[in-house]
Structure 1
Amino acid sequence: MASARLTPNGVGAALAGDTNLRPIVQVVNLRCVNVDGRGTPRSDRWRGLVSDGAETCPAMFAGQLSDQARSGLIRRGSVVQLDEYVINMVGGRRVIVVLNLTVLLAECDIIGNPVITPESESSNQNNPRVEQFNGARQYGLAAGNPSPTRPNGNVPVFQPSVAGSSLNTPTRLSDKSPVFQPTAQPSYRPAPSYKNQGAIAKNEAPARIIPISSLNPYQGRWAIKGRVTAKGDIRRYHNAKGDGKVFNFDLLDSDGGEIRVACFNAHVDRFYEVVEVGKVYVVSRGNLKPAQRNYNHLNSEWEITLERDSSVDLCPDEDSSIPSQQFNFRPISEIEDTPTGTVLDIIGVAISVSPSTTVQKKNGTETLKRIIGLKDMSGRSVDLTMWGDFCNREGSQLQEMVERGVFPVLGVKTGRVNDFNGKCVGTISSSQLLIDPDLSEAHTLRQWFDGGGRDASTQSISRDHTPAASRNEVRMTIAKIKDEGLGMGDKPDWVTVKASIIFFKSDNFCYTACPTKEGDRQCNKKVTKGTSGLWVCDRCDKEFPECDYRYLLQLQIQDHSGTAWVTAFQETAQELLGCSALDLITYKENGDPRFAEIMLSCLFQDYLLRLKVKEETYSDERRVKNTLVKVERFDPAAESRHLLDLLSRSMASY
């Protein structure tokens, strides 16, 4: 029978914590453990003993190795190389948890004189339950074969009783020593471990740092060392358990492994101020859960949730082996076919920046919004929607650069794809924006843009995008909307019109609204002032000393084909006028000249207006209503590119 050379002192070195060593060892005992008691192949795990020819140690094989053990590729006598493994403390004893291995010899004689130490022997007997698989005991026996097997041709199988066994006497697996195979379980006596006193107590010894890629649920004590590449804002939520809060941060280690760490409720207060982007930390004692791929695009299949015993310790020495960031940029052309909600990295040249506007979210709170136009060498451009503080930080810097004629390269780490306006990418709390980053992709884009890419024709996947000949986002004239009878169907039609605003109804441009919040949403029902001087909401049946003011703006638009009346509600009207309804009505009531300046500044200006066209019934009269849902100032350069794209597509169709 074939033989092999085992790694001298391989077991001892592995137990000492040298996970960089890939020792060659021999499996001298193997058995199956039914984890859930069903006895199905999907529920089994395998444990046994591994030997370096002199010393043995208990081993537990990860679930992904069960198929090899079940098929017999790994069996008693197999010589294997341990490619990935960790050391766990189980019942006060060190156990090698094998994550990945290479089978060098599937069958081999027992090599050397391996000693079964009392520690190894006890760990094989501390479970009084009889563990079976396919009806056969798995104490080194072949599945389905109830008769004892011999490791070689002349070694008998020794089966002592409890009275005849000695846990303090080593047993050797050699040509002259029997194979220890108990039939009755001795009383359990744990090996010495940490004492509950002194500087280090039980379960308080420093955890060994392992790569992020090696994390798995089979480990007990672990620690990882990584640089914080992103830190999200504190988010509040409400579910069946009540109100809560959470924030996330991402870690990157020297091997390129990434993982997301989540902190909930009390742990937010513990760690939010501790964690800083760019710093290196050692994180230990967390709960591993499968990563949620809808919100997490990091390369780890796990996420960490910090708990009461978790620790996040800052490393005083800066580890230069850990990179500051890791990107996986996608071309803009690929975003066109990417599912909504996908989180990804993109990079492009910023060719346009819209002014920052204030919009109201569904929960009644307000936030900032800004649109950035990006293009790359794929022949496509896309809208990047900035939210919140990004508008004032990177957004203001980008706007200033573009207005000076400098078109910077913008890298986006962790953006989310949405389909609100064709296909767009929006920032989330953990996003990062890098202006002119020192990256090879950025240098390549800069050379392309300066070498002719500035004037290259591109097609937007965000604006004027008409997949499958949809009528959404179709350019039309005002006369054509009426001629084609848009809005008469079951669903609304969406069109884009290039037109000017020629008139505002300035008498009733807003209304008094209820400020009450119902869960995450504001009521916004119209309120009236009662005899007591308080504002009364008939819907909420409450009175308020103050009310909100929300836009209900009626305006008339005109293009070369005709005119039409359009209604603009809160967010869109505020984006158009650039101020809140409360400020504007305050200007009007106080006779402030800013009221007239704001209204007149929007008249007779060209805009790209996105309209929702739908027939509605009002006072038993059916009529088509045009609602303004998005407004953009007319950009002659962008319009020229749009017309060139139309010509190119028209010529290609002939």
Structure 2
Amino acid sequence: MPVNLTPNAIATINGGDVNLKPLVQVLDIKQMGSAQERFRILVSDSVLTQHAMLGTQLNDRVKTGLVKKGSVIQLIDYICSEVQKRKIIVVLNLETIIPDCEIIGNPKMFPDATAHKTLPNTNSVQPAGVVGYNNLSSQSHGNNMSSIQPALSSQNHGGNVQSFRPTLSTLNQGSNMQSFRPALSAQTHGNDVQSFRPTVQPPYQPPPSYRNHGAVMKNEAPARIIPINALNPYQGRWAIKARVTAKGDLRRYNNARGDGKVFSFDLLDSDGGEIRVTCFNAVVDRFYDVIEVGRVYLISKGSLKPAQKNFNHLKNEWEIFLEATSTVDLCPEEDGSIPQQQFSFKPISEIETAENNSIFDIIGVVISVNPSVPILRKNGMETQRRILNLKDGSGRTVELTLWGDFCNKEGQKLQEMVDSGSFPVLAVKAGKVSDFNGKSLGTISSTQLFINPDIPEARDVKDWFDRGGHDVASVSISRDCVSGGPKNEIRKTVSQIKHAGLGRSDKPDWATVRASISFIKTDTFCYTACPLMIGDRQCNKKVTRSGNSRWQCDRCNQEFDECDYRYLLQVQIQDHTGLTWVTAFQESGEEILGCPAKELYLLKYELRDDTRFADIIRSRLFCQYLFRLKIKEEMYGDEQRVKITVIKADKVNYSSESRYMLDLISKVRRY
């Protein structure tokens, strides 16, 4: 069956027609891009060919063979953009008409409208007086030109006028050379010059200049709305309509170019495309208060740059940077075609083998929530931390660590729900994987939490939990032994720490031990610390009294009215195999004693309430914890000693621990 491609399709598209929907043939396909696959094709209308770029949403058409070399396709949705003074067709949607076909016609590349025009042939047209005027004899056909010479001035002394200079005019083929007119001036001295009429080259006339006598008409038509997945740097004017699904915090930075500020937000459109938008400095002032999570905006006039995958988890190779000329317009009417959020849920069991810092969407039932506790970050700033546990049908549970505002918003609501006896479903969008002491998830600035969301996945996991999933044994990937894993994920007993020689190597060893507290030293349970900041970190060095009411730091060489109080606990722990001493600093000390160090210090040394102080200490004795320990050999004077530091102390959840023990029993029986 003969195939008729759309006549003049390439020329029509380059002329700006985007409604033709032509039939064209694919002559070639090449894969481009490294961060994300992208395909460039060569299309033909049987007479002309033109390069085109496929939107990433069409990649599957190439991978599955629906679009290949020879395929006849219909361009449904497309634009034509100019890149580096060359035009390229960006294909947003297409249909395959004939998957495989012989090449039709003998097409040639479409001539670029901006290419240089062909210069006239100047081999036989050169200005008079140019030295080296060659090949003049080749221009004569039947003329007597044997003595024509291209000299600048030809002086003849008594000879026949056959030696003279030609002009710029084309050589008169087939005519007598006696009518050939020399240029400039020719001096003759007694020569027989028949029809020799000297001419003068006209003076140089510059080309006319045109002044702007009025306003230039600009293209004020609104930019065409395209899908996010079709965005690429080859487009000149574009606009996207999308919903804000996440908004990052306003952050300040300092580098070699000075101070600055930045924030980002994520967009989702009706086709499921996602992209991150970033604003810096003055642009932050324009748009930070304008952007609201959940609202739909029309955005245009931004620049596209490669996405920084270290900080951007979205599946898009580009990132939008808004500029001074960018526009962000709120859509007044709700667009129901754009979903509120897009998830890519994975079972908790997949986190067990995931790489550190990878991003996951998970959904599960909240089975426990710990209280929120203050944490001092490495930069000296204090924040809040709350840990909860999620369970799904994959046979695994995982710790989710909430940081900052998540602790007081969603975290507090979840704790109230669990304390009341209900087990809510929690959907986590963009949780960050951590492999410290096992695998866990943590919130980042772009994380979104949804409690009991109205989505099919939430209903499915809730039905599973209510029909018996609550009692199904699950293993925690956040604190249990992973076979063949690194040492920081291995459960040990107290005696095994010594017998395995942990801490004797150059690097510290890590272990998780279930043990109870048998003794706490109370004479030096905390120390007074410097609250001053050194750069972006708190000093935290020990301070001493200066007079009766002030404190002094020798490191900072300053005095101040108030100091900090930080835990330095010496704790003896024991299990069924033996006992050992461990050291607990600020965060782990609060987890063990359940109150800030300052409160306990004032109770003992200011209020001198020894009874209440003793009750707090006594209440922690013989309580079982899961201790995450760092074990490292250090030098004390002239002696090497193994120091064991408590990194984290969690009270044993007997329900989870029982499931862990049952799982170990089942593994033993299996082998």
User: Which of the five TM-score ranges fits, normalised by the shorter chain?
Assistant: 0.7 to 0.9
Q: Find the counterpart in structure 1 of residue 78 from structure 2.
A: 85
Pairing of 1:62-73 with structure 2 (within 5 A): 62=53
- The counterpart of 1:431, out of the listed 442, 447, 458, is 447
What is the SS of the residue equivalent to 1:303?
strand
Deviates more, 1:381-390 or 1:541-550: 541-550
Q: CA deviation at 1:104?
A: 7.1
Pairing of 1:41-190 with structure 2 (within 5 A): 61-62=52-53, 81-82=74-75, 84-88=77-81, 97-99=89-91, 106-108=103-105, 124-125=113-114, 127=116
Amino acid at match of 2:269: D
Deviates more, 1:8-17 or 1:298-307: 8-17
Give deviations 1:263-289, integer Å, cap 9, x for gaps.
Answer: 122222221211111110011111111
C-alpha separation in 1, matches of 2:118 and 2:602: 80
Pairing of 1:362-377 with structure 2 (within 5 A): 362-377=378-393
C-alpha separation in 2, matches of 1:325 and 1:550: 43
Report the CA distance shift for 1:47/1:501 in structure 2 as closer, same or farther (over 3 A).
closer
Q: CA deviation at 1:535?
A: 4.1
Pairing of 1:501-650 with structure 2 (within 5 A): 501-530=517-546, 535-591=551-607, 595=613, 598-650=616-668
Report the CA distance shift for 1:428/1:7 in structure 2 as closer, same or farther (over 3 A).
farther
C-alpha separation in 1, matches of 2:387 and 2:271: 36
Q: CA deviation at 1:12?
A: 6.6
Amino acid at match of 1:637: S
Is residue 356 of structure 1 aligned with residue 372 of structure 2? yes
Q: CA deviation at 1:105?
A: 6.9
Contact kept, 8 Å, 2:566 with 2:597, in 1: the verdict is: yes
Contact kept, 8 Å, 1:494 with 1:613, in 2: the verdict is: yes
Report the CA distance shift for 1:270/1:627 in structure 2 as closer, same or farther (over 3 A).
same
Report the CA distance shift for 1:637/1:210 in structure 2 as closer, same or farther (over 3 A).
same
Report the CA distance shift for 1:562/1:443 in structure 2 as closer, same or farther (over 3 A).
same
Report the CA distance shift for 1:219/1:566 in structure 2 as closer, same or farther (over 3 A).
same
Amino acid at match of 2:105: C
C-alpha separation in 1, matches of 2:314 and 2:106: 45
**Mind listing any 5+ residue stretches in structure 2 that lack a counterpart?**
29-39, 57-61, 63-67, 120-206
Q: CA deviation at 1:89?
A: 7.0
- The counterpart of 2:297, out of the listed 271, 281, 288, is 281
Amino acid at match of 2:600: L
Q: CA deviation at 1:428?
A: 0.6
- The counterpart of 1:379, out of the listed 378, 395, 413, is 395
Q: Find the counterpart in structure 2 of residue 651 from structure 1.
A: 669
The structure with the largest strand share of the pair is 1
Give deviations 1:420-441, integer Å, cap 9, x for gaps.
Answer: 1211111111111112212222
Deviates more, 1:290-299 or 1:592-601: 592-601
Contact kept, 8 Å, 1:371 with 1:383, in 2: the verdict is: yes
Q: Find the counterpart in structure 2 of residue 115 from structure 1.
A: none
Contact kept, 8 Å, 1:527 with 1:535, in 2: the verdict is: yes
C-alpha separation in 1, matches of 2:600 and 2:666: 45
C-alpha separation in 2, matches of 1:373 and 1:449: 14
Pairing of 1:194-205 with structure 2 (within 5 A): 195=215, 202=218, 205=221
Report the CA distance shift for 1:448/1:62 in structure 2 as closer, same or farther (over 3 A).
closer
Q: CA deviation at 1:189?
A: 12
C-alpha separation in 1, matches of 2:235 and 2:535: 41
Report the CA distance shift for 1:543/1:563 in structure 2 as closer, same or farther (over 3 A).
same
- The counterpart of 1:267, out of the listed 283, 287, 291, is 283
Report the CA distance shift for 1:444/1:268 in structure 2 as closer, same or farther (over 3 A).
same
Contact kept, 8 Å, 1:79 with 1:105, in 2: the verdict is: no
Q: Find the counterpart in structure 2 of residue 462 from structure 1.
A: 478
Pairing of 1:21-32 with structure 2 (within 5 A): 22-24=21-23
Q: CA deviation at 1:292?
A: 2.6
C-alpha separation in 2, matches of 1:74 and 1:639: 60
Pairing of 1:165-244 with structure 2 (within 5 A): 195=215, 202=218, 205-244=221-260
Amino acid at match of 2:655: A
Pairing of 1:311-390 with structure 2 (within 5 A): 311-390=327-406
Give deviations 1:564-619, integer Å, cap 9, x for gaps.
Answer: 32211112112333333334333434317565554444333222222222222212
Q: Find the counterpart in structure 2 of residue 164 from structure 1.
A: none
What is the SS of the residue equivalent to 1:289?
strand
Contact kept, 8 Å, 2:426 with 2:450, in 1: the verdict is: yes
Q: Find the counterpart in structure 2 of residue 41 from structure 1.
A: none
C-alpha separation in 1, matches of 2:260 and 2:298: 26
Q: CA deviation at 1:18?
A: 4.7
Amino acid at match of 1:24: L
C-alpha separation in 1, matches of 2:607 and 2:277: 54
C-alpha separation in 2, matches of 1:210 and 1:342: 30
Contact kept, 8 Å, 2:366 with 2:423, in 1: the verdict is: yes
TM-score (normalised: structure 2): 0.73
What is the SS of the residue equivalent to 2:323?
strand
C-alpha separation in 1, matches of 2:536 and 2:646: 25
Report the CA distance shift for 1:233/1:203 in structure 2 as closer, same or farther (over 3 A).
farther
Amino acid at match of 2:89: V
Amino acid at match of 1:528: T
C-alpha separation in 1, matches of 2:406 and 2:215: 52
Give deviations 1:367-418, integer Å, cap 9, x for gaps.
Answer: 1112221222222221111111111111122222223332222111011111
Amino acid at match of 2:6: L
C-alpha separation in 1, matches of 2:118 and 2:646: 72
What is the SS of the residue equivalent to 1:512?
strand
What is the SS of the residue equivalent to 2:665?
helix
- The counterpart of 2:416, out of the listed 400, 404, 419, is 400
Deviates more, 1:354-363 or 1:486-495: 486-495
C-alpha separation in 2, matches of 1:511 and 1:449: 47
State the number of aligned residues.
553
Amino acid at match of 1:124: A
Contact kept, 8 Å, 1:572 with 1:630, in 2: the verdict is: yes
Report the CA distance shift for 1:408/1:533 in structure 2 as closer, same or farther (over 3 A).
closer
Q: Find the counterpart in structure 2 of residue 35 from structure 1.
A: none
Pairing of 1:286-297 with structure 2 (within 5 A): 286-297=302-313
Q: CA deviation at 1:518?
A: 3.6
What is the RMSD of the two structures over their aligned residues, measured on CA atoms? 4.1
Report the CA distance shift for 1:26/1:336 in structure 2 as closer, same or farther (over 3 A).
closer
Give deviations 1:127-172, integer Å, cap 9, x for gaps.
Answer: 4799xxxxxxxxxxxxxxxxxxxxxxxxxxxxxxxxxxxxxxxxxx
What is the SS of the residue equivalent to 2:447?
strand
| Percentage of pairs with the same residue | 55
C-alpha separation in 2, matches of 1:503 and 1:476: 21
Amino acid at match of 2:278: A
Q: Which structure has the larger Rg over C-alpha atoms?
A: 2
C-alpha separation in 1, matches of 2:388 and 2:439: 13
Deviates more, 1:255-264 or 1:499-508: 499-508
Contact kept, 8 Å, 1:212 with 1:253, in 2: the verdict is: yes
